[in-house]
Structure 1
């Protein structure tokens, strides 16, 4: 009872809390009893108190191994604030000067320091090792323990050496390992590597009921992000990107759109990163745009949304990053953008890695793809990944899939075919192989196992890949099959699957929605709503465009293209300056054609008493402008477009898009010199005449009319640019 009393006294005296959360009390008691302890507790569950409190109550100093300097600083600052003296907690890492290191070691030796935070890289240094051997170590806490496993989302080779160092420091030093994310495979790796197979496991539920999960197709992603943040003004959020370049670009876009945003990535110096983090914590900055270098252990309870500009590399990374929203129990909106191009990029990153690492990376990425493309409850999928069963009715429509209309199919017959195939053939095949059998897709593995002559080969071809993907994914979620993660994700029958074969029953599954066709206009956002198109105004603008086109003997698309008119119907520009900010309208077009359009919109806004969402007119970044200026200058010097593309490090296709965007915004470009190089005069005249009388500017329409054997897509695009530049600008 003495421990229990002093536990509560210390909790109240030091941290000011009246009660423990979840398993905290049992965990702390286990550590105080000098027993190895393994804690799996989601972000926001109160992991740090599980080692901080027993450290304060134990003789000697607890060594806390932590992967990030920012995380250490954050926790040491908090402990000093609670304890009222700087010497109570220190960190030992590469950011300290020699004098600072001497001060730290002196405080530890004099028994003033109860917690010493050490980076894994610093732990093995000879002078640090010698110092640790000379002091009394109460226990070792390994924070972010998933870093030990290659199957974890943030593998660090230095973490593999921790056990070896602890053995050198002293005998029978107890360990507490803590992580916010660990699949059964990662748990097993941690236990084995730290040699703590007998450690008591404390595992909390991974369900964060206050978080709303949504995945959207990646279309106009920067605009969507700006709109989302604008509609949640005053709320703190994080935007994650995979590359530093994208972090800088998005931070700049947000800033020029009046949002207090700052970039954060490993390429910035330590001082800048620390200042950025402090500004976010102190609410001087509303949004952090970051690579995954940001956020581990950042204790900001009121982050209201986490946006993934790029789909993350792993489900663990996704869970960890989304877990930074709503740590105070309030609203948390988790929005991720998904595209197949991102998946291709991530796959390319793995191209040059060793075979085993590539294999692991591919399987981990596949889980993210399945999650993104599936129409099943997102919460159910996340929790299944971490080995937790969940009934989707408990989601309470806190994910986009549970809010959307679903298409069900009778799965019994197909499910029995798949389960029967696995039973008959053994656990030797992954989902892709089984899908190839069902749709009759022949390849080397199919023919080598003679599955092209199997009765099921091609039997489900008309149902399509999406159907079989949906079925296998949900058979796994229903615990009929499981992936053998140690062996390339081969599918195995579970006890549940064997029972189903013997006693089948009708079962309905949900068909996946193809991501590029899935739509979310933001009308279901719990934190804000996006704007919608004004159909009546659009009709009026199209009529005006038609009238002006007739007067000037030009096709309507030369005046303004449809996307420009549509954006006018969302943002209602009532001055030439505002009109210039609309997509595809630059100074040239605004001056030449803008006046009657602005006049019409102004009158329409007054007549219909419309409250204009001016703040949602999204300005583009300066670095894009710099590229455009450079392209214009090079064209003036008559440099080949292919050469300009090469010098800018972009493809010829992207170059044409940039040139087209410049011309569509009203700038006149003389690209005749380059067109003459690429297309002979007769063919130029033919395309020119076609566009003069065309209803729209569709390249596919032009190819249909003029013949695909005579022209390439780029030929028509080039001629369309020349046509609009000469006639419209």
Structure 2
């Protein structure tokens, strides 16, 4: 059966071999066994249910959390020659009935639905008379209350599955799950723990960086101008900030879309479509856009504000480079971001236990912004994915900044925390160190301790940032809650005794742009844009950037050679292949325009 799956993989998707994890997951699914897969964004999770849908007699139901994403996914499948559809609230009653009739007639292999539809009596009646072979639960972390994006509607899935007289194969998929969340999902879906397949969270084509002390607006404008041919997403934590940045870009004559929960569904759909179809290259969005984009050629993600959790950050950053091309994930950090996230968290209706867990996640996110170790390694450690070596790509790995001995400043901070009896938060500690005349300091009589004012020449916000650095590197610990208490650690004693040094890299503002200066690649992109408009599909649905780069590198001149390019399957070749071959043959003949087609 796997051999047949490989043939279909090449015929429909243009790939010769499976990616890590796909073969193991497919083996279980094809043998009729439930399985959970944790694979990074862009790791090919969808192949794990798309290929079985081509091999089974019945249908595969894909439960997806965002209806805004379904149309993109179905359009892309149809471009690959796979019969797929979706049923959701965007369809009229007549459209829904028409699709149901075609479903009864066996015209579809894949059906996408939102979890809210599962317990609808009408939908259950439809499914009762339809053979269902596989139920694929996309973004499965939404099942767990310990996940970063828990959705109560996902708890309807186990009930829906149990209604089947003959249980379909259950396939749970996600890109972001800690060990605790993965265990929770497996238990809820009755998937044996030995059938949890992890391929690792590493994305070898992503370059991570954190920039502190930047003028956010200037950085964003300069970066977009340097990468004006590329698609990118700018994430913010609030609607207000998303609107401010979009208006700022407009004043700089940069056209950018916007997407947040306060807009009408029609407005959101229009801006998303403009971005997906390359009408605008940049979109400013809140986390409402986190899972709502299937666009493969997003070349950069800029977080203008720090997200609250590592899960949210990695999922949003993972929207970059889904086609495998090198892409950047930039986080612009400001200490004010912490207050914003603390405020937003306090406004939630979470239980005290859940809030405590969320504050712990926020601390991990702050530590990420202040660590000086490999950024990818920090992310992998967070998800319980052991990594033997640093990535060699991120800002810190490629950083040539000078290392500065900050032991003396560290001893001042640690000594102050000890004299304050480890009873206060970092803001109060910083105020004492800088000699603040704050009335609260006087009321607590903290202006009388020996460490009061010993860092008077420094700005309070810089001292707070330094304390965050010490916490990130475990010279200090921080409790939970909105106002966590700072305490000493085992490392603190070694530093205070002079047995351990604290080294920190000097602060330097750095920027880096993604380069795409291959003329043939740019020419192929223009052809792709023209073909996409002709066929009324998004450009990335024609061929991905990675596929165009391989064409540019290999320069195939025949159909057989073209079919050896990753991402070029039989169906795609029949629809688009000849147009690209004309351009590539012209290049081989010295760039003659006579053979270039007029599209």
Contact 2:471–2:478 under 8 Å retained in 1: no
> CA 1:34 to 1:323, structure 2 compared with 1: closer, same or farther past 3 Å?
same
Name 2:509's counterpart in structure 1: 520
Please report how far the alpha carbon of residue 475 of structure 1 lies from its aligned counterpart in structure 2 after TM superposition: 5.7
Secondary structure at the counterpart of residue 197 of structure 2:
strand
Please report how far the alpha carbon of residue 180 of structure 1 lies from its aligned counterpart in structure 2 after TM superposition: 0.9
Cα distance in 2 between the residues matched to 1:161 and 1:489: 40
Aligned residue pairs: how many? 473
Cα distance in 1 between the residues matched to 2:501 and 2:145: 36
Contact 1:239–1:306 under 8 Å retained in 2: yes
Matches within 5 A, 1:645-684: none
Secondary structure at the counterpart of residue 350 of structure 1:
helix
Secondary structure at the counterpart of residue 288 of structure 1:
strand
Matches within 5 A, 1:431-510: 440-442=421-423, 473-474=472-473, 510=503
Name 2:363's counterpart in structure 1: 366
Name 2:53's counterpart in structure 1: 55
> CA 1:253 to 1:60, structure 2 compared with 1: closer, same or farther past 3 Å?
same
> CA 1:407 to 1:150, structure 2 compared with 1: closer, same or farther past 3 Å?
farther
Residue deviations 1:582-641 (CA, integer Å, cap 9, x gap): xxxxxxxxxxxxxxxxxxxxxxxxxxxxxxxxxxxxxxxxxxxxxxxxxxxxxxxxxxxx
Please report how far the alpha carbon of residue 124 of structure 1 lies from its aligned counterpart in structure 2 after TM superposition: 1.6
Residue deviations 1:350-377 (CA, integer Å, cap 9, x gap): 2243312321221111111111122222
Establish whether residue 200 from structure 1 lines up as the match of residue 181 from structure 2: no
Cα distance in 1 between the residues matched to 2:486 and 2:178: 17
Name 1:136's counterpart in structure 2: 131
Name 1:70's counterpart in structure 2: 68
Cα distance in 1 between the residues matched to 2:316 and 2:96: 33
Contact 1:37–1:177 under 8 Å retained in 2: yes
Secondary structure at the counterpart of residue 247 of structure 1:
helix
Matches within 5 A, 1:530-549: none
Contact 1:91–1:117 under 8 Å retained in 2: yes
Establish whether residue 6 from structure 1 lines up as the match of residue 14 from structure 2: no
> CA 1:5 to 1:508, structure 2 compared with 1: closer, same or farther past 3 Å?
farther
> CA 1:467 to 1:274, structure 2 compared with 1: closer, same or farther past 3 Å?
closer
Cα distance in 2 between the residues matched to 1:507 and 1:170: 65
Establish whether residue 38 from structure 1 lines up as the match of residue 36 from structure 2: yes
Contact 1:263–1:288 under 8 Å retained in 2: yes
Cα distance in 1 between the residues matched to 2:11 and 2:473: 50
Matches within 5 A, 1:189-338: 189-198=184-193, 200-217=195-212, 219-296=214-291, 298-338=293-333
Contact 2:374–2:391 under 8 Å retained in 1: no
Cα distance in 1 between the residues matched to 2:172 and 2:194: 9
> CA 1:161 to 1:434, structure 2 compared with 1: closer, same or farther past 3 Å?
farther
Higher RCO structure, 1 or 2 (CA under 8 Å, sep 6+): 2
Name 1:602's counterpart in structure 2: none
Please report how far the alpha carbon of residue 195 of structure 1 lies from its aligned counterpart in structure 2 after TM superposition: 2.2
> CA 1:443 to 1:5, structure 2 compared with 1: closer, same or farther past 3 Å?
closer
> CA 1:349 to 1:472, structure 2 compared with 1: closer, same or farther past 3 Å?
closer
Cα distance in 2 between the residues matched to 1:465 and 1:239: 27
Contact 1:373–1:512 under 8 Å retained in 2: no
Name 1:109's counterpart in structure 2: 104
Secondary structure at the counterpart of residue 189 of structure 1:
helix
Cα distance in 2 between the residues matched to 1:197 and 1:468: 44
> CA 1:298 to 1:440, structure 2 compared with 1: closer, same or farther past 3 Å?
same
> CA 1:18 to 1:392, structure 2 compared with 1: closer, same or farther past 3 Å?
closer
Cα distance in 2 between the residues matched to 1:206 and 1:471: 27
> In terms of Rg, which structure is larger?
1
TM-score calculated relative to the size of structure 1: 0.58
> CA 1:342 to 1:53, structure 2 compared with 1: closer, same or farther past 3 Å?
same
> CA 1:264 to 1:394, structure 2 compared with 1: closer, same or farther past 3 Å?
closer
**Structure 1 unmatched ranges of 5 or more:** 415-432, 445-457, 529-729
Cα distance in 1 between the residues matched to 2:324 and 2:470: 35
Secondary structure at the counterpart of residue 196 of structure 1:
coil
Name 2:352's counterpart in structure 1: 355
Name 1:718's counterpart in structure 2: none
**Structure 2 unmatched ranges of 5 or more:** 426-449, 456-462, 517-599
Establish whether residue 119 from structure 1 lines up as the match of residue 114 from structure 2: yes
Cα distance in 1 between the residues matched to 2:415 and 2:131: 58
Contact 1:377–1:402 under 8 Å retained in 2: no
Please report how far the alpha carbon of residue 74 of structure 1 lies from its aligned counterpart in structure 2 after TM superposition: 1.0
TM-score calculated relative to the size of structure 2: 0.70
Residue deviations 1:108-128 (CA, integer Å, cap 9, x gap): 222222111110111122221
Name 1:700's counterpart in structure 2: none
> CA 1:410 to 1:201, structure 2 compared with 1: closer, same or farther past 3 Å?
farther
Secondary structure at the counterpart of residue 403 of structure 2:
coil
> CA 1:391 to 1:8, structure 2 compared with 1: closer, same or farther past 3 Å?
closer
Contact 2:404–2:503 under 8 Å retained in 1: yes
Cα distance in 1 between the residues matched to 2:292 and 2:13: 18
> CA 1:271 to 1:6, structure 2 compared with 1: closer, same or farther past 3 Å?
same
Please report how far the alpha carbon of residue 380 of structure 1 lies from its aligned counterpart in structure 2 after TM superposition: 1.7
Residue deviations 1:252-277 (CA, integer Å, cap 9, x gap): 22233222311122333334333333
Please report how far the alpha carbon of residue 48 of structure 1 lies from its aligned counterpart in structure 2 after TM superposition: 0.6
Secondary structure at the counterpart of residue 272 of structure 1:
helix
Secondary structure at the counterpart of residue 308 of structure 2:
coil
Secondary structure at the counterpart of residue 288 of structure 2:
coil
Secondary structure at the counterpart of residue 85 of structure 2:
strand
Name 2:13's counterpart in structure 1: 15
Please report how far the alpha carbon of residue 244 of structure 1 lies from its aligned counterpart in structure 2 after TM superposition: 2.1
> CA 1:466 to 1:398, structure 2 compared with 1: closer, same or farther past 3 Å?
closer
Aligned mate of 1:345, from 334, 340, 347: 340
Aligned mate of 1:145, from 111, 131, 140: 140
Contact 2:423–2:485 under 8 Å retained in 1: no
Cα distance in 2 between the residues matched to 1:195 and 1:20: 27
